[in-house]
Structure 1
Amino acid sequence: MVVRPSSRRRKSGGFTLLVAMGVVTLMTMAVLLSYGVVSREAGTQGDSRRRKEAFFAAEAGMAEGREAMRLRLGDRQTYGNVLTTLGAAVNEPGLAGANPPWFEVLPGAEPDGWNYLRLVQESLTAAELSSESGTPYVEYPTQDNVRYRVFVRDDLDDTNPNTDTNGQVWLMAVGEVLNTEGRPTRSIVQALITNENAPAAGGPGCVNRGCGPDNTFNNSQDPRSPDTTLVRSFR
């Protein structure tokens, strides 16, 4: 005799199937939610790391730019001649037509004009390519995506933005880290640099040493007048 399932058994089996599908759905949603949280956390940490790298690149560019400006300045008192020797003003989107104009301090050797902080294996020592125990590194970051540019502009001490009269200019360094998403992480630092060359004092005779207008030390401004008694010299 064939025993056919009752309606109560069929209802119980359908309910069990619905519960199982609900549990599977909840687990799937929990996994997807966890994956999203982990992905966002990884993205946040990656952005923080790239921001630090961009800032350090900008700081490195600022240090190199300050030294380049010091060498270009020489013994001059103002940066006017330095601005004129930097060539034409930067004519790029966002900087074209700026007032005062921006000038490139460290033009990059790459076609894009950037300076890259690449690690070249041939320039590294054996200690830098291995761990403390002497095990060679299989892979290490080469910093191919880290770069910087350095600009200078006048501080508007006068009406002419292409000249300098007070010995001060603004130096700007831009650090940038590229990523696979196409959105670079950028950091900008700037500093007002001041010429520290002391003006040279010149004059005839002993004026530089504090003597009077008659080229003698016997003057009213000297608190201790020289002894005018006879001075004998012996050979």
Structure 2
Amino acid sequence: MTPTPAEPTPFGTPEAPRIAVRGEAHLEADPELARIGITVSARGTDRRATLDDLTRRNTGVLDLVKTYGDAVENLETGAFSLTPEFAKHGRGERIRTHHGRVHVTVDLTNFTALGELATRLADLDLTSVDGPWWSLRPTSPVHAQARRQAVHEAVQRAREYADALGTTLAALVELADVAAEDHSWTGRELARGMPRAAFAGDTPDSAPALDLEPERQHVHAQVNARFTMHPPQL
């Protein structure tokens, strides 16, 4: 019968004592992307006419966004709905009106163009604008920088503990990424100067472009590390 190997002790041994530490990093960086949400609406008593109005307005929004070329990182159409509203009084299922909506999201890299585009979109008929939500790209080097800094802090902290015991580190036993996160699109607060807008296009002159101040991004990284050290002389 093959003997079961002994489980390694998490606390080390007198011949190979262990040190367990945590390394953390907190960095700030300028955002790389800004996202705005656009809702195009239409309303009318005739279903087909409402759908035609919604299609025309949605096409106008998409065409306007596409004129900004390379400033637009991503353009996506999300939910579409055309919903009847029934009369509250009277017999039968009598439809009072129809409501149509299309949701579009736009990611931009040029924040000067962002302010101008947001203003022009909000000036369109039955078009509302939400955002912006600021973000770093998932591939941003800031994330890697934070992880490296967290690891360096863990190693430095372990060396200081070993030095306090009059010894040095021997080997790395484990390195675990326990928390590495950044602000994502979801749940981000609206940036200063960009409230929810819902304009009916009743302004005869073009509105001035919004001056939007990018929100600094906070990137966090945490690691747990375990080392063995040479036995200290206590």
TM-score for the superposition, normalised by structure 2: 0.24
More helix by proportion, 1 or 2? 1
More strand by proportion, 1 or 2? 2
Higher relative CO (CA 8 A, sep ≥ 6), structure 1 or 2? Answer: 2
Larger Rg: 1
